[in-house]
Structure 1
Amino acid sequence: MSKQTVLVVDDERDIRELLTITLGRMDLDVDAASNVAEAKRMLAERSYGLCFTDMRLPDGSGQELIELIARQYPETPVAMITAYGNVDAAVNALKAGAFDFVSKPVDIGMLRRLVQTALKLSEERRGGDPAVVAAASARLIGDSPAMQQVRATIGKLARSQAPVYISGESGVGKELVARLIHEQGPRAGGPFVPVNCGAIPSELMESEFFGHKKGSFTGAHADKEGLFQAANGGTLFLDEVAELPVHMQVKLLRVIQEKAVRPIGGRGEVPVDVRILSATHKDLARLVEQGHFRQDLFYRINVIELRVPPLRERREDVPKLAGRILMRLAEESGGSERPTLRPAALKALIDYDFPGNVRELENILERAVALCENGQIEVADLMLSTRGPRVAAGTADEDEDDAADVPAGEMPLDDYISNLEREKIMKALQETRYNKTAAAKKLGITFRALRYKLKKLGID
């Protein structure tokens, strides 16, 4: 197998020599250019597995070169060499199509890892197996234009190391999208570590994210690696990133910028090679305006935004989604035949607005399978009347009002209280788009207490 060749573009001789020696020890050939004009000529004459370019060059900018390579030589990953701490330049480079960035002074270990990842990507771009991508994408169900666009965007984002912010309502499948970005990229062989930022107590966050050394605090009986170290060489998915407290936002920003973490009680920083993907169902830009989320962190994690559409914007996907869910439920129950949606029931689902999106569709069908007769799901089995805005006049609202108006003496007290409790919980779930953490907060109870009540009241 012939050697890969790397192009290094920098007007500083020391940097060119450092990169040439380091890359040569990795069994790579290196071409070096000191300005934009030389680099353009070399790119036109030879195919490169990777390009490094400085930000400032005598006859132009690295940004100009990145845009040129993204446009004319898309099979060549390009990394920006930036001044220490120059986040703006790094973000602009990533937005222009750069694969990644490396800061001066160059850390040799970090450089080696970046090169290995980039060369994997270069090989995939030149001869990637379309069947692998197709198999991964098949898990994202739906043929609507909206979902076709999401799949195409995932394919593009997988070829970068840029941080991606995945926006969308609760239940649309943001974690699945994050997994597909990871699996279709050069980090697929590394770990994918998802973390729900809203589920970690504030006082434990630093230890969970960055790890700690034995004896650094009461209860630290052994060294523990954090989530960043666990995701080294792979992807860290920060779900519900809006729930991070301000002190953690500051620390997270520093880790992203420096590509290193300091465990609690540790004397030095530990380099980490991690791609950051984040998501939330909240409007993060509005939280920035309100001062609840740091603008500099938002700017850093939102280099590229991918919006996952709610189910009501892709109603044509409901039949296929429902069919796949029913097939899974049949397999899990060991049944020989999957339940069937009657035409009226399928139409009711298509017309429904699904405030809880795909997750709610799964819950509705799971309940319907339990209620239906002879494997035939009727409209009544779906129990849609109390689950969203598309309610026929004179049904659920009147029933709920009647239940609330019945004096306690005319029905058992426990039933009366349960009805009121169920009504309040359902309202909170609908208002929070079936995000249980947010619903518990709205109701003023703990997540554990809400989970208990949901089980007690038979609400999925």
Structure 2
Amino acid sequence: MSAKILIVDDEANTLASLSRAFRLAGHEAVVCDNAARALELAQAQPFDLILSDVVMPKRDGLSLLEDLKNAEVATPVVMMSGQAHIEMAVRATRLGALDFLEKPLTTEKLLVTVENAMKLTRLEAENRDLRMRVGKHTMVWSGETMRRVMAQVERVAASETRVCIYGETGTGKELVARTVHEKSHRASGPFVTLNCAAVPAELIESELFGHEKGSFTGAAQRHSGKFEQAHRGTLFLDEIGDMPVAMQAKLLRVLEEGELERIGSDKPTKVDVRVVVATHRNLEQLVDNGGFRRDLYHRVVVFPLTLPPLRERCEDLPALVEHFARQVSTQNGWKPVPFSSEAIRALKEYGWPGNIRELRNVVERLLLLAGDAVSAEDVRMALPATPNGGGAQMRADGGAGPLAQRVLAFEREAVLAELERHGRHITQTAKALGLERSHLYKKCQQLGIDLQNLPARD
């Protein structure tokens, strides 16, 4: 695997010989003759390795190490010197240097060092990814409906084609995006996510593109945005339909040019990122209504994938229940509890407005309620009081049922009424209810309100 390496040395001959050796080995080399410029380069673009001399005029290599650490540049650094001694090596290591090489350097030693640095970086990324995924859901299916979807995933994953994943909340859009990443040639790179609906409009630019120290109130340190974090990997933009229109124009530029500018900087940063997006909304309708840019639509909706809701793939439910039961039991150290056939049948009869996410929560609830086996009666106790027919409707009569159920029913009616009053405009509805837009989405999910397919009201 080729690497992008920044070489820092005040001797022109050393820069020339090292850069030539790396380029002959298939790597990309960028040269620099002073520490101040090296810091600028390391902040402006991603490198796989920084190779720096220790003894240089003005600021030496050890000072550069400190500057990189203070600027939160995570690129591994290897120091080199023709005047090496043990104290210097110890100090470099304490400042975070990956290795310390003594001049003169052999080509073989240099290439081995680069290879080791790449392996370490890759292992650290894999460990972070594994830690993040502990306890997370994995793709589980057994029926024909999802088999067709996953066949499309396999086909598109091998390409660089941009993918747009459509589906109701809780259908597993992020899992599909991760599967696209893991089956692509970018699998060894990072997988970075951003939920566009959960980030306030005033902060989304910083989250995507990053910012420089002091660029706005509260910007105490330089921050790398999601695009830089996803360099040579995949960036998953969930709920792309909720991105502010003003931000859409800036996203379009990055997709077209492959470079961005952090807030507070006028220097472009090159990024190599595959973008996968998802939404529960109808993007074509948003385009027609002026809520989504047409040019951006054609950039991100190159290969659309539609995930079916759980109620349309009930053949997968037994496998999903088994998977979640095993997962929850393992996480909590519980003894495995079987589900009776009657319990599975009762689960299939429910409408699952919250889809797979709701199913997992119900399975965990059932394992807490059950004795030696989960029964149909356990299922009836764990599910909402009135089943959602075809999707499930919560009990709407305030005069019956437990207090918690009555409160939920009242909240559901209040939210639906405001949505209808404001023409189903999410931002206006959230404002009328005194909620943040992201909180309204969460509340609708909790109440079983499908914002994409709202029920007709009398």
Q: TM-score, normalised by structure 2?
A: 0.60
Give 2:435's aligned residue.
Answer: 445
Answer whether contact 2:398 2:410 (CA < 8 A) is retained.
no
**1:228 partner amino acid:** F
Give 1:388's aligned residue.
Answer: 388
Q: Matched residues in 1 for 2:194 and 2:284: separation?
A: 21
Q: Matched residues in 2 for 1:304 and 1:201: separation?
A: 28
- 1:350 corresponds to 2:348: yes
Give 1:325's aligned residue.
Answer: 324
Mark the CA change 1:333 to 1:159 in structure 2 (over 3 Å): closer, same or farther. same
Deviation string, structure 1 residues 270-301 (Cα, Å, up to 9, x no partner): 11000000001111111111111111111100
Answer whether contact 2:388 2:394 (CA < 8 A) is retained.
no
- Equivalent positions of 1:137-176 (< 5 A) are 139-176=138-175
**1:424 partner amino acid:** F
Give 1:287's aligned residue.
Answer: 286
Mark the CA change 1:232 to 1:421 in structure 2 (over 3 Å): closer, same or farther. same
Q: Matched residues in 1 for 2:240 and 2:394: separation?
A: 36
Deviation string, structure 1 residues 5-42 (Cα, Å, up to 9, x no partner): xxxxxxxxxxxxxxxxxxx96769xxxxxxxxxxxxxx
- Bigger CA drift: 142-151 or 227-236? 142-151
Give 1:94's aligned residue.
Answer: none
- Equivalent positions of 1:133-212 (< 5 A) are 139-212=138-211
Residues matched between the structures, number: 305
- Bigger CA drift: 310-319 or 268-277? 310-319
- Over the residues paired in the alignment, what is the CA RMSD in angstroms? 3.5
Q: Matched residues in 2 for 1:332 and 1:234: separation?
A: 30
Q: Matched residues in 2 for 1:203 and 1:450: separation?
A: 18
Q: Matched residues in 2 for 1:452 and 1:237: separation?
A: 20
Paired residue secondary structure (2:197): helix
- 1:422 corresponds to 2:412: no
Cα offset for 1:243?
A: 0.9
Answer whether contact 1:142 1:321 (CA < 8 A) is retained.
yes
Deviation string, structure 1 residues 41-61 (Cα, Å, up to 9, x no partner): xxxxxxxxxxxxxxxxxxxxx
Paired residue secondary structure (1:198): coil
Q: Matched residues in 1 for 2:303 and 2:439: separation?
A: 37
- Bigger CA drift: 244-253 or 151-160? 151-160
Paired residue secondary structure (2:202): helix
- 1:402 corresponds to 2:392: no
Answer whether contact 1:329 1:366 (CA < 8 A) is retained.
yes
Paired residue secondary structure (2:400): helix
Q: Percent identity?
A: 39
Deviation string, structure 1 residues 182-214 (Cα, Å, up to 9, x no partner): 011110111000111111111111111111112
Cα offset for 1:320?
A: 0.8
- Bigger CA drift: 303-312 or 248-257? 303-312
**1:206 partner amino acid:** E
Mark the CA change 1:261 to 1:450 in structure 2 (over 3 Å): closer, same or farther. closer
Q: Matched residues in 2 for 1:141 and 1:452: separation?
A: 24
Paired residue secondary structure (2:159): coil
Answer whether contact 1:388 1:430 (CA < 8 A) is retained.
no
**1:402 partner amino acid:** G
- Equivalent positions of 1:260-279 (< 5 A) are 260-279=259-278
Structure 2 residues without counterparts, runs of 5 or longer: 1-22, 28-136, 420-425, 448-458
**1:192 partner amino acid:** F
Answer whether contact 1:340 1:377 (CA < 8 A) is retained.
no
**2:341 partner amino acid:** P
Deviation string, structure 1 residues 382-415 (Cα, Å, up to 9, x no partner): 32443522599xx9748x35339xxxxxxxxxx8
Mark the CA change 1:356 to 1:298 in structure 2 (over 3 Å): closer, same or farther. same
Give 1:132's aligned residue.
Answer: none
Deviation string, structure 1 residues 230-283 (Cα, Å, up to 9, x no partner): 111100000011110011001000110000001111122111000000001111
Give 1:367's aligned residue.
Answer: 365
**1:382 partner amino acid:** A
Q: Matched residues in 1 for 2:356 and 2:407: separation?
A: 25
